[in-house]
Structure 1
Amino acid sequence: MKRKSIGLIIGLMLFALLGVIAMQYYFIHQSYNLKAQLFDEAVNAALNTVALKAEKKEAVDFIQAQEVKAIRNRKLQEKREAEWQAKMFVEKIKREQRQQEMEVRDLEAKLLREFPSATLIKNDFYETYMKDPKLKRLVKVDIVTAPEGFYQRNRLDVYVNKPATNPKKALDDSIRYVFIDPYMGDIGVVALPPRKNNRLDAQIRRYEQQGSILQTGALLDSFMEIATAGTSVIENLANDFEMAKKPLKNRIDLDYIREELKEEFFNRKINLPFELKITEGREDSVLFQLAALNGHFEGKNVYSTILFPNSLVRSSGKLSVGFPNKHSLILSNMGMMLGSSAALLLVLIGCFAYTIFIILRQKKISEMKTDFINNMTHEFKTPVATIMIASESLKDPEIVTDAKRVDRLANIIYDENVRLGNHIERVLNVAKIDKGDLRMDKQEVDMNVLVSAVVDSMGLQLKKRDAQVDLRIDAIQPILHGDEFHLSNVIFNLIDNAIKYSKEAPEISVRTWNSGHAIHVSVADKGIGMSRDQLSKIFDQFYRVSTGNLHDVKGFGLGLSYVQDIIKRMKGSVKVKSEKGKGTEFELTLPIVTK
């Protein structure tokens, strides 16, 4: 893909991403405005409700006060009427009592004129002796003369010598006199009404203690009158307000308004601290102010309503509330929307970045594959051309008769075929790794023996470059579980790279040693080395370290990718240390077989 096409695709994707971000911002902004509008409507509704409640409360309080006053006056009036009625009733009873006393005295005087010797006896004496015929015989009567002023009057002395065993109590409060009947010659008893009515006496005492008399019917009538008194109070409310003319400050219950505001805001899910201010007339005439935070009101976050809008007495007040944290509440209510939008944007940006990364990577891989094909063509062309030249030489009749030359040409053909087969095998192994078809024949492998064998097999190449190899086999436990063939290829690739990327006579160090339950194999050289940027790419397929203007280093860029994949399959790791111009060291770490 050309750079212009890639740039156009990236530009279009960036434009689409910016468009999506702009649309998300627009919808979030519109949603915020809608939430703010709903918040404003809720606050204004709460303020209007509280203002109406305050006005109704004032009317109810006034009505109740008037009702209490009316009830108190009515009760006072009824109390006075009751007291007067009770007083008149007591006077009536007393008159009846005096009348009865006078009648009883007249009867007594009449009795004494007719029977001058008549004597007063007790009612219990009468009930015990006089009513019982048997006990009446025990009653004795003597006539006794007693002085009475300037005169002497005979009276009867009534008694008994033997008291009764079961005396009886008086059954009533009548007045009883004993007299001697001159005709019968026997004792007679006369019963007169009591001088005082005990029942009337008890009523007099009770009414005098209570000081009032209220009958049930009168009480019910008075309560009905009190209950209907409110109607007249409501009808005369305007006149009473006109007469009262209370100042606005005294008409406002600050605690009530504050608590009602909290309740109304809570019912509308507005759980924010608010600032409260009540003014009268001009804006600077502040009656009450409660500051929750900074003590001043901001214009956009302040809401107002009129207190007592129907008042005809004095000027109405103004109730204002402010919400310093209004934006935080709205944003918290939009938390789900903001979170989901941010998550979607992050996903889109991630997908966009990943897509650009894949496009650039595919472009780079495409370029590397092109280089790989060119290198592979060159690598395959050389042995093919050599084989062709050697084959044509064998057709020469003169050469056929020379056995040494034929043997030499046959060896050249064989070596070039082996070289060509190694190139093909390397490409096929990488293809198998990419497809996941690479099979490994794992068995116990002695890494000391394997490393020594690979170094020996590369003796001709090392000798050709006048390489110096420092081989140190220090591993005490060299046995591991792995594939001998692929491990040999790994060591071969590392030593081959050390030879390729050394300028003159290579100096190569190969070591094995143990650490814990692992064996370490290192291949170090003093070649051209690599930069940090190159180190991060050397395990990518088709990547080859640049050697400047020189192109004498041959290869496909597949060796180190193959090394890393094989070592990972054997549960090992690869470390690289390199410094530009000073050389490179590869360290393999593989788990050993513990016994």
Structure 2
Amino acid sequence: MTQQKIRWLVVLMSLALIGLVIFQVVGVRETLNAKEDQFDGSVTEALDAVAHKLEKTEVAVLTSRRLAAERRKEKLQQIAIHDRPAKTEPKGRKASPRKADPATIQRYASHSPIVQQWEFYGRVTVPSDVLNRTNGTLTDAEMHYVEEYYRNESPPLNPDNRLRSELEKTYDETMFRNLRKDVESVKARRDSVGKFLANRVVGDRKAAPVRKHMPKEAAAKPKVTFSRPRVSRIDSARLPHRHMTEFEKAEQKSRVMREVLLDMFTNDRPLNQRVDMAILDSLLKNEMSIRGISIPFEYGLRSDDNPHDFIFTSSPGYREDRLLDGYSMQLFPSDLMATDNMLYVYFPERQSYLAQQVWTTLVSSVILILVMASCFYVAMSTIVRQKKLSDMKNDFINNMTHEFKTPVSTISLATQMLSDEAVAASPSMLNRYLGIIRDENQRLGSQVEKVLQAARFDRGEVRMMRDQVDLHELIETVVHSLSPQVEARNGVMHTNLGAKQSIVTGDEVHLTNLIFNLLDNAIKYSGEVTDVSVSTASSADGVRVTISDKGIGMTKENLRHIFEQFYRVPTGNVHDVKGFGLGLSYVKKIVEEHKGTIRVDSAPGKGSTFEVWLPF
């Protein structure tokens, strides 16, 4: 693969990775927006349900209070009737039915809204007289007096009462229309106070029969007078109980409901009297829990009487600006008069809650992006490394061909010279060419051995023959063998073997090759002036060997790769430094096999220093 193809591949894979990241970010954002809309909708539904239930609670509370007041009123009436002295009828006077004027009754019925609305087959009640009246009919003057009395007792409607009157009229029309069928089902029967449900009143009405005999107990009962009834001492169980008819029960419920509705529509009660804080807190928590919202929240109430301050907050002293930034819902929206009674709810942990809702999607997206990026990096690194290895192998083949070609050519030339009769006749010439063949053969063998050693190290087949080795003797032997090269370059090699203990445990052959490769590299890369020094020093648990030169040096980029196989420091197009790029990689592996360390310091134009530490 060419360098240009690798560049195009990197660009395309980078664009694909960037597109994947963008799609994942957009997807997570859309999911978060959907969760926010769902959360907002759930909160709005919960607040709407709370507002509706608060209205129902208010109706229930007002109804229960009104019914309790009606029961107390009825009980007081029963107490008053029980303690009222019985009246005896004067002797010689008998109660007789009185007859009403048909025209008057017809006129009363036509003007009465109740009679007009309640068409339940004339089932009205007519009480019997308790006084003996000889004239049983009411005169026109008497009827006129009665009508004037009720007309004068009814106060005129002022503007403030018009709304109440209209509500009563609307309520009557609706309520009694629904009660008509229920009232028709009530059969005519005698009630507990001696009244009859008569036929429909058209032009005449019948009087109920008079009780002829009074109970003896009632006639003999003494007259009792008192100033104030003491209700607390009355045994309610012994009071006479008057059973209400179905119609009377319906009428009482209708009256109570009408009064409750009128109180709701007309009475302007403060918000803190209309809302019970404990009920509000319970409703909010219950509605939020039903919709799966379990995070804490703060809430507050603000009335239209004082729209700038909160009349109540769930946490005293809580920041009001936070509540205003949350959710709001109008309370009692069914009031006739529009009000600005508002309920505010704020969720301090809203963002973290929403983040938790999309946490799975977010984590999976991040993991997917990281996996793709890692695969992209590994793929690109592998491609680049394979490309580099391919280049290094090509260089290795070129160098190996050059290194092998020179000895082979030299041996071939020496062999040709040996075939010459003049050379064969001269023993000195013969020995010379034979020595050249021997040296080149050893050189060729050493090069082949280096390649084989590198292959064995890669396969892990190298076995160390560990023994006690004196590093000072080993270094002196290697320096002596390399002295001709230094002298040929007009250089100098310094030795400073100052280690107090120089014996280590290791493989003598591999340690010799280690020192030889380091000194050989120092000589080859010394430049024009060869100046190499070797020194040793003892440490607490090992020996430190330092080899330095004053050659061309290396850059930081070269330092990162000098221990790689087949890597050679570039020297331009001139092939004046021989080698396969296997020497330093071999050195590093030998040091690691002996549990030691190696460190390099170098700078371009200032030379290089290799420091090897080997344990005892």
What is the TM-score when the length of structure 1 is the normalising length?
0.70
Closer, same or farther in 2 for the Cα pair 1:370/1:293, shift >3 Å? farther
Provide the C-alpha distance between the structure 2 equivalents of 1:258 and 1:36, rounded to a whole number of angstroms: 24
> Which structure is higher in strand share?
1
Corresponding residue of 2:268: 247
TM-aligned CA deviation for residue 234 of structure 1: 6.4
Q: Deviations over 1:58-98 (max 9, x none)?
A: 1121122213322332343344455569x99xxxxxxxxxx
Provide the C-alpha distance between the structure 1 equivalents of 2:67 and 2:408, rounded to a whole number of angstroms: 124
Corresponding residue of 1:295: 321
Unmatched 5+ stretches in structure 2: 88-228
The aligned length equals 466
Q: Deviations over 1:342-401 (max 9, x none)?
A: 122122212212221221122122112211111111111111110110011111111110
Q: CA RMSD in A?
A: 3.4
Provide the C-alpha distance between the structure 2 equivalents of 1:48 and 1:285, rounded to a whole number of angstroms: 23
Q: Are 2:28 and 1:28 aligned?
A: yes
Corresponding residue of 2:601: 577
TM-aligned CA deviation for residue 303 of structure 1: 4.1
Q: Which amino acid aligns with 1:253?
A: V
Superposed, 1:120-199 pairs within 5 Å as: none
Closer, same or farther in 2 for the Cα pair 1:224/1:514, shift >3 Å? farther
Residues 522 and 549 in structure 2, CA contact (< 8 A), matched pair in contact too: yes
Closer, same or farther in 2 for the Cα pair 1:326/1:222, shift >3 Å? farther
Residues 519 and 589 in structure 1, CA contact (< 8 A), matched pair in contact too: yes
Q: Are 2:264 and 1:238 aligned?
A: no
Corresponding residue of 1:139: none
Residues 63 and 230 in structure 1, CA contact (< 8 A), matched pair in contact too: no
Residues 82 and 213 in structure 1, CA contact (< 8 A), matched pair in contact too: no
SS in 2 for 1:458: helix
Q: Deviations over 1:209-258 (max 9, x none)?
A: 99845274649x58999xx9799346632333325622263454273435
Corresponding residue of 1:42: 42
Equivalent of 2:422, from 393, 398, 402? Answer: 398
Closer, same or farther in 2 for the Cα pair 1:294/1:406, shift >3 Å? farther
Q: Are 2:614 and 1:590 aligned?
A: yes
Corresponding residue of 1:260: 283
SS in 1 for 2:270: helix
Residues 414 and 436 in structure 2, CA contact (< 8 A), matched pair in contact too: yes
SS in 2 for 1:578: strand
Q: Are 2:480 and 1:480 aligned?
A: no
Closer, same or farther in 2 for the Cα pair 1:35/1:314, shift >3 Å? closer
Corresponding residue of 1:364: 388
Residues 534 and 546 in structure 2, CA contact (< 8 A), matched pair in contact too: yes
Q: Deviations over 1:125-159 (max 9, x none)?
A: xxxxxxxxxxxxxxxxxxxxxxxxxxxxxxxxxxx
Equivalent of 1:382, from 406, 409, 433? Answer: 406
Closer, same or farther in 2 for the Cα pair 1:514/1:232, shift >3 Å? farther
Closer, same or farther in 2 for the Cα pair 1:330/1:323, shift >3 Å? same
Closer, same or farther in 2 for the Cα pair 1:309/1:235, shift >3 Å? farther
Closer, same or farther in 2 for the Cα pair 1:211/1:382, shift >3 Å? closer
Residues 469 and 507 in structure 1, CA contact (< 8 A), matched pair in contact too: yes
Corresponding residue of 1:55: 55
Residues 521 and 588 in structure 1, CA contact (< 8 A), matched pair in contact too: yes
SS in 1 for 2:565: coil
Provide the C-alpha distance between the structure 2 equivalents of 1:554 and 1:77, rounded to a whole number of angstroms: 130
Closer, same or farther in 2 for the Cα pair 1:296/1:229, shift >3 Å? farther
TM-aligned CA deviation for residue 578 of structure 1: 1.6
SS in 2 for 1:295: helix
When structure 1 is superposed on structure 2, of 408-417 and 306-315 the one drifting more is 306-315
Equivalent of 2:438, from 414, 417, 421? Answer: 414
Corresponding residue of 1:547: 571
Residues 532 and 550 in structure 2, CA contact (< 8 A), matched pair in contact too: yes
Q: Deviations over 1:470-489 (max 9, x none)?
A: 22222222222221111111
Q: Which amino acid aligns with 2:29?
A: H
SS in 2 for 1:524: strand
TM-aligned CA deviation for residue 415 of structure 1: 0.3
Which has the larger Rg?
1
Corresponding residue of 1:330: 354
Closer, same or farther in 2 for the Cα pair 1:316/1:466, shift >3 Å? closer
Identity of aligned residues (%): 36
Q: Which amino acid aligns with 1:443?
A: D
Provide the C-alpha distance between the structure 1 equivalents of 2:10 and 2:387, rounded to a whole number of angstroms: 13
Closer, same or farther in 2 for the Cα pair 1:9/1:234, shift >3 Å? farther
Closer, same or farther in 2 for the Cα pair 1:494/1:426, shift >3 Å? same
Q: Deviations over 1:273-311 (max 9, x none)?
A: 445465659x9798758595561677xx75444433444
Corresponding residue of 1:19: 19
TM-aligned CA deviation for residue 420 of structure 1: 0.6
Provide the C-alpha distance between the structure 2 equivalents of 1:66 and 1:3, rounded to a whole number of angstroms: 94
Residues 78 and 239 in structure 2, CA contact (< 8 A), matched pair in contact too: no
What is the TM-score when the length of structure 2 is the normalising length?
0.68
TM-aligned CA deviation for residue 571 of structure 1: 0.8
Closer, same or farther in 2 for the Cα pair 1:232/1:376, shift >3 Å? farther
Corresponding residue of 1:115: none
Closer, same or farther in 2 for the Cα pair 1:314/1:413, shift >3 Å? closer
Corresponding residue of 1:343: 367
Residues 59 and 260 in structure 2, CA contact (< 8 A), matched pair in contact too: no
Using CA pairs under 8 Å that are at least 6 residues apart, name the structure with larger relative contact order, 1 or 2: 2
Unmatched 5+ stretches in structure 1: 89-207
When structure 1 is superposed on structure 2, of 319-328 and 412-421 the one drifting more is 319-328
Corresponding residue of 2:138: none
TM-aligned CA deviation for residue 409 of structure 1: 0.3
Closer, same or farther in 2 for the Cα pair 1:474/1:317, shift >3 Å? same
Corresponding residue of 1:537: 561
Equivalent of 1:428, from 437, 452, 466? Answer: 452
Q: Which amino acid aligns with 1:295?
A: D
Provide the C-alpha distance between the structure 2 equivalents of 1:6 and 1:468, rounded to a whole number of angstroms: 47
SS in 2 for 1:54: helix
Residues 70 and 229 in structure 1, CA contact (< 8 A), matched pair in contact too: no
Corresponding residue of 2:235: 214
Provide the C-alpha distance between the structure 2 equivalents of 1:421 and 1:26, rounded to a whole number of angstroms: 65
Residues 277 and 321 in structure 1, CA contact (< 8 A), matched pair in contact too: no
Residues 299 and 343 in structure 2, CA contact (< 8 A), matched pair in contact too: no
